[in-house]
Amino acid sequence: MSRVITVANQKGGVGKTDLAVNLSSQLAELGKRVLLIDFDPQANASWYLTKNSYKLSTADIMLNGIALDEIIVSSCVKGLDVAPSTMGLSAAQIHLSQDVNMQFKLKKKLEIISRNYDFIVIDTPPSLGPLTINAFTASDGIVVPVQTHFFPIRGLSDLLRIVEEIKEVINPDLRVYGIVLTMFDRRTSLAKEVKHVISERFGGMVFDTIIPVCVKLAEAPSHRKPICIYAPSNKIGKIYRELAEEFLTRLID
């Protein structure tokens, strides 16, 4: 059985897709079988990891009764598959809001492929709408990237409250694997201050590994490659490797 991890934060542009893509890639490089499900209509992770040759997407599994294994394509990273997304997934949000069992839809779809992967990583849109709730319902745990700026920390408590509600009502086993500080610019006192505030408030929830601001990371999506392939010798690859290893130790705790 695979372990299902959702990368979520309702704030936009905090590094969710970057984390989902590079954590998945590193887990695959560590020899794990990984599936990344793009559950965002923006389809950024699909752009990042595929050659856009896919015909079916997560929109089809949510709207047209297609099975998950029918949409899966391989990526440029050995051991990493992708369930790609399209803009059409945004229609699923409306459809889902009219469906009584809406929050269980993705979870049901995962059953068929669960044995094929060690990890399933879900990239979510910047909202706490039906797609993200579906991902939470289907997950063992969540990882929350937080940009080390002021506004991103404001929504963190709201996000964790929703997770508590999902635990109480739908998925009692849902865990928060941790908060990952992203786009950390050590030259600014703001970044240090935000790091301090988050560490004080959320303590052990915060990963020791911090993702710094990195030009290569910003460049990688346009080359449609994760950092381990786009810039294998850059130190950011090593940092993502450390993050993946820390993530694996957190699963045991």
Ligand X SMILES: Nc1ncnc2c1ncn2[C@@H]1O[C@H](COP(=O)(O)OP(=O)(O)OP(=O)(O)O)[C@@H](O)[C@H]1O
Kindly state whether residue 58 participates in binding Mg ion, applying the rule CB under 5 A: no
Of the two residues 4 and 23, which places its CB atom closer to ligand X in the complex? Answer: 23
Task: Report the first-to-last Cα separation within the chain, whole angstroms.
Answer: 19
Q: How many residues of this chain bind ligand X (CB under 6 A)?
A: 19
**Any contact of residue 221 with ligand X (CB under 6 A)?**
yes
| Candidate segments 9-17, 79-87, 190-198, 243-251, binder of Mg ion by CB under 5 A | 9-17
Task: Count the Cβ atoms, other than its own, within 10 Å of residue 73.
Answer: 18
Rounded least distance, CB 116 to ligand X, Å:
26
Identity of the residue, 88 or 126, whose beta carbon is nearer to ligand X in the bound complex: 126
- Strands in 3-7's sheet, in edge-to-edge order, are 73-74, 80-83, 34-38, 119-123, 3-7, 141-147, 175-182
Q: How far is the CB of 172 from ligand X (least distance, A)?
A: 27
Residue with tokens 């990371």: 217
Closer residue to ligand X, CB minimum distance, 120 or 217: 217
144 binds, among ligand X, Mg ion, none (CB under 5 to 8 A by kind): none
Beta bridge partners of 3: 119
Tell me the C-alpha distance between 62 and 47, whole Å. Answer: 20
Q: Is residue 231 a contact residue for ligand X (CB under 6 A)?
A: no
Q: Does 29 bind ligand X (CB under 6 A)?
A: no
Smallest separation (angstroms) from ligand X to the CB of 186 = 12
- Closer by beta carbon to Mg ion, 11 or else 16: 16
Tokens read off for 101: 């069992």
What stretch of H or E contains 38? strand 34-38
For residue 19, the minimal CB distance to ligand X (Å) is 7
Please report, for residues 40, 49, 124, 168, 179, the alpha-carbon distance to residue 17 in angstroms, rounded to integers and kept in the order given: 9, 11, 8, 28, 15
DSSP state of 33: -
The interface region with ligand X, picked from 10-18, 23-31, 113-121, 155-163 by CB under 6 A, is 10-18
Within 17-46, the residues that bind Mg ion by CB under 5 A are: 17, 44
> Closest separation between CB of residue 45 and Mg ion, Å?
7
* Strand pairing class (73-74; 80-83): antiparallel
**From the list ligand X, Mg ion, none, partner contacted by residue 133 (C-beta under 5 to 8 A by kind):** none
For residue 253, give every residue at least 6 positions away whose Cβ sits within 8 Å of its Cβ, in sequence order, or none: none
| Residue ranges binding ligand X (CB under 6 A) | 12-18, 40, 42, 44, 126, 182-183, 211, 213-214, 217-218, 221
